[in-house]
Chain A
Amino acid sequence: MTDVTMTVNGLPRSASVPPETTLLQLLREQFNLTGAKLGCDVGDCGACTVIVDGQAVNACLMLAGQADGRQVLTIEGLASRERLHPIQKTFENSGGLQCGFCGPGVLLSTKALLDENPNPSTQEIRDALSGNLCRCTGYTKMIEAVQEAARRLREESPAQLTHAQI
């Protein structure tokens, strides 16, 4: 068994799992964080995207052991008790999510992008989302949502972002 301890959405979590457990299985089955989805299991669709130590990664391509000691942010960690994260608000407003299955992955890829690049061009947004496949929306509303979220985040002061920024 592999023993892992990591910070998930700001809280320490531990588990003892078979070594072949992927980070995705750990999150979904051990920690009951079912936001990250199993879409292809080979790192093509991005439905399993989570943020590990500030970088967007495919959770299906990591073993649980690789995340030991790391900071993991899942979709469940984006909103705070007080409010939705601006990215969640703008995707809701723009109609950027239809069936919603790709949603958690897309929103986390967006977060990773905006944390590094607060004013992305349309091409940079496309590049950042190129690892997240969506069969419903055609991406246009998503790109609008990312641009609007970027604008809102630029206007906010750091104090307004109450949730721990991982």
Chain B
Amino acid sequence: MDDKTKVLEREQLDIESLRESDVDLRLPAVVPREPYPIEPLAPDARQQTRAVGQRATRSDGRLHGLGQTRYIDDLSFPGMLHARIKRAGIASARIKRIDTSAAEAMPGVMAVLTGKEIPTNSFGPSFQDQPVLVDDLVFHAGDGVAAVAAVTEQIANEAVAKIVVEYEPLPAVLDPVAAMREDSPKVHAPDSNIYASKVIRKGDIEKGFAESDHIFEGRFSTQMIEHVSLEPHAAIADWDANGRLTIWATIGRITLARSDMARTLKLPMSRIRIIGTVVGGNFGGKNEITQEPALALLSKKTGRPVKGVFTRGEEFTSTTTRHPIVMDYKSGVTNDGRIIVRQIRLVLDGGAYCSWSETTLGKACILAPGPYKIDNLVAEAFVVYTNKTMTGAMRGFGAPQVCFAYESHMDDIAKALGKDPLEIRLLNAFDEGSPSPTGQVLHSVVVKESLRKAADRFGWEPRS
């Protein structure tokens, strides 16, 4: 009996030791003060890691080579219809009458849509100045006037040909410089044709010109350029019984597109799902909605998925292009070729609708003086409506055009002064810490080093 009691006593741990047994595991009731570093953490630059510096193949390269990548036109859904949009084909007009009855009567045509049926017939990434389908006025030849959905593309094409539209031609504005005049016809009356402008001022240009040894002027113009991504604009729209819209689209900005669609269709964004598919080239041209609201309404009318694929011709007439810009440069230089003053006026051909013109305008204006130290500067830029193809985002956003201008201008100056074109640029180019035209202090400036290195590699011989 005594042994059993002893065993129990031995094996029964006292409550105090139990209470202490997990003290190492417990968190302190108060977190001890530890100093956190105030300086930002600097990564170890130029340290070789396993990932950086390794050659990587594109993850989609294999699928592309096999032909397995599914672009929008490769997608097909049961019962899917094909859409085709009738294009205005006239630069500026009032629509007197649209007669869709012959198209509607065609076997295989499941729905026809006109501008009147669009809940909010305007959209756009900056200004909502573009109609989904024009209703009263035509603003450019690429405008959509009506849309059909049919069981085959062939029937859709024939149906579009049967839609009768009566136009009253109006004066068309085709030259952006002329369009700036007060007496020019107004593309989006009563608003001025100049729909955005920007001006950068620095120093005193009057003083600069007075102090110049030579003054040079030049006008440079660039043309309208189309992205020609190999894949045309394409989209498929489909509704479900819960009133939710799904769009497969080539669009690069999904939330913007959902927001624009919500506005045009008067639908909450939460009911709109946009699936951005693998795209066959964007380059800036697929960053906004185009035909999607029309496809959505055709799909709603028919209760079936509706696919629309632009023809190559529509890519040129009815999608955005690069802004043509008329660029006037006036520079005052010293005898040794230093630019002391520059005055610039840019007139961007803004097409029928704004699209991404504001961004392009801003960029073009800031970059217009070039990477050169200029103390006295005025750069004025305007973007102007015309009754021509829309101009919008295209890689460079205004930079390529002004680069052509300021570099050609520099060559003209060099030639006139008898100076080597490379030397005159080295004389004027930005240095580390130079301010940009808008006053931003620039770092990691390697303009001169790059020019010298390039000249060395090209085997540039000084010339004047």
Residues of A near any B CB (own CB < 8 A) = 18, 20, 28, 33-42, 45, 47, 74-76, 78-79, 84, 87-89, 91-93, 95, 97-104, 107, 133-136
Cβ-neighbour of B73 out of A37, A76, A93 (below 8 A): A37
Interchain CB contact under 8 A, A99 and B66 = no
Inter-chain contact B61/A135, CB cutoff 8 Å: no
Is B197 located at the chain interface by the 8 A CB criterion?
no
Task: Indicate if the CB atoms of B230 and A134 lie closer than 8 Å.
Answer: yes
Bound complex: CA of A111 vs CA of B43, how far in Å? 48
> Chain A residues near B154 (CB, 8 Å)?
18, 20
Residue numbers in A under 8 Å from B60 (CB-CB)? 97, 100
Chain A contacts for B69, CB-based, 8 A: 100, 103
CB < 8 Å neighbour of A34 from B70, B279, B280, B311: B70
User: For chain B, what secondary structure do more than half of its interface residues adopt (helix, strand, loop), or is it mixed?
Assistant: loop
B67 with A34: CB separation less than 8 A: yes
Cross-chain contact A99 with B61 (CB below 8 angstroms):
no
- B311, A99: Cβ atoms closer than 8 Å: no
Residue of A18, A20, A40, A103 near B67 (CB, 8 A) is A103
CB of A99 within 8 A of CB of B73, answer no
Residues in chain A near residue B278, CB distance under 8 A: 99-100
The answer on a CB contact under 8 Å between A107 and B65 is yes
- Asked if A103 meets B74 with Cβ closer than 8 Å, knowing A92-B57, A97-B58, the reply is no
- Inter-subunit contact A135/B58 (CB<8 Å): no
Q: List 26 A-B contacts (CB under 8 A).
A: A28-B74, A34-B73, A34-B74, A35-B67, A38-B232, A42-B312, A45-B230, A47-B230, A74-B67, A75-B66, A75-B67, A84-B66, A87-B65, A91-B64, A91-B65, A92-B57, A95-B58, A97-B58, A97-B65, A99-B281, A100-B61, A100-B63, A101-B230, A104-B67, A135-B230, A136-B281
CA distance A87 to B66 in the complex (A): 10
Q: Does B97 belong to the interface (CB within 8 Å)?
A: no
The B275-291 residues at the A interface (CB cut-off 8 A) are 278-281, 283
Q: Are B61 and A37 in contact (CB under 8 A)?
A: no
Shortest B204–chain A CB gap in Å is 45
Residues of A within 8 A of B73 (CB): 34, 37-38
Residues of B within 8 A of A20 (CB): 154
Decide yes or no whether B431 CB sits under 8 A from chain A.
no
Contact A91 B61 (CB under 8 A): yes
In Å, the complex CA distance between A142 and B178 comes to 45
A40 to B154, CA, bound (A): 16
Min CB distance A87 to B, Å, is 8
Contact yes or no, A99 B279, CB < 8 A: yes
- Does B227 reach chain A (CB closer than 8 Å)? yes
Closest to B61 in A: A92
Chain B positions within 8 Å of A95 at CB level: 57-58, 61
Minimum CB distance partner of B74 in chain A: A34
On chain B, which size bracket covers the interface?
20 to 34
Q: A39-B230, A99-B231 are in contact. Are A84 and B58 (CB under 8 A)?
A: no
CB-defined contacts of A92 to chain B, threshold 8 Å: 57-58, 61-62, 65
User: Could you tell me if A97 and B230 are in contact, using CB atoms closer than 8 angstroms?
Assistant: no
Chain A-chain B contacts (Cβ-Cβ < 8 Å), number: 102
B229 interfacial by beta-carbon distance below 8 Å: yes
Query: By DSSP majority rule, is chain A's interface helix, strand, loop, or mixed?
Result: loop
Asked whether, in the complex, the Cβ of A41 is within 8 Å of the Cβ of B312, the reply is yes
Contacts of B71 in A (CB 8 A): 37, 101
Sorted from nearest, which 10 A-B pairs have the closest CB atoms?
A35-B67, A100-B64, A101-B280, A75-B67, A88-B65, A34-B74, A101-B230, A92-B61, A40-B312, A97-B64
Please name 8 further chain A to chain B contacts, defined as beta carbons within 8 Å, in addition to the given A18-B154, A136-B281, sorted by A numbering.
Answer: A37-B73, A89-B65, A91-B65, A92-B62, A99-B229, A100-B63, A101-B231, A135-B229
How far is A60 from B227 in the complex, measured between Cα atoms in Å? 22
Query: CB-CB < 8 A to A91: which residues of B?
Result: 61, 64-65
A85's nearest neighbour on chain B, judged by CB, is: B65
The CA-CA distance from A96 to B228 in the complex, in Å, is 19
Residues in A with CB closer than 8 Å to B70 are: 34
Closest to B309 in A: A38
A93 to B62, CA, bound (A): 9
Write out, one digit per residue, whether chain B residues 301-334 have a CB within 8 A of any chain A CB (1) or not (0).
Answer: 0000000010110000000000000000000000
Q: Please give the distance in Å from A103's CB to the nearest CB on chain B.
A: 4
Chain B residues contacting A102 (CB-CB under 8 Å) are 230
Contacts of B283 in A (CB 8 A): 135
- In contact, A99 and B67 (Cβ under 8 angstroms): no
Given A41-B311, A41-B312, A97-B58, also A135-B65 (CB < 8 A):
no
**A31 CB to nearest chain B CB (Å):** 13
Of the listed residues A33, A36, A93, A135, the one surrounded by the most CB atoms of chain B closer than 10 A to its CB is: A135
Asked, given contacts A75-B66, A84-B66, whether A99 binds B57 with beta carbons under 8 Å apart, the answer is no
In whole angstroms, how far apart are the Cα atoms of A74 and B65 in the complex?
Answer: 12
Residues of B close to A107: CB separation below 8 A: 65
Question: Are A76 and B279 also in contact (CB < 8 A) when A39-B312, A135-B229 are?
Answer: no
In Å, the complex CA distance between A19 and B74 comes to: 23
**In the complex, per-residue mask of B216-233: 1 if CB is within 8 Å of any chain A CB, else 0:** 000000000001111110
- Please name all residues of chain B whose beta carbon is closer than 8 Å to the beta carbon of A36 when the two chains form the complex: 67
* Interfacial chain A residues near B68, Cβ < 8 Å: 35
Which residues of chain A come closer than 8 Å to B228, judged between CB atoms?
A: 133, 135
Cα of A136 to Cα of B74 in the assembled complex, Å: 20
Once the chains bind, are A37 and B312 in contact (CB under 8 Å)? no
Contact with A along B30-59 (1 / 0, CB 8 A): 000000000000000000000000000110
Question: CA of A129 to CA of B66 in the docked complex: distance in angstroms?
Answer: 18
Measured between C-beta atoms, what is the minimum distance from B269 to chain A in Å? 28
Minimal beta-carbon separation of B281 from chain A (angstroms):
5
A34 to chain B, nearest CB (A): 4
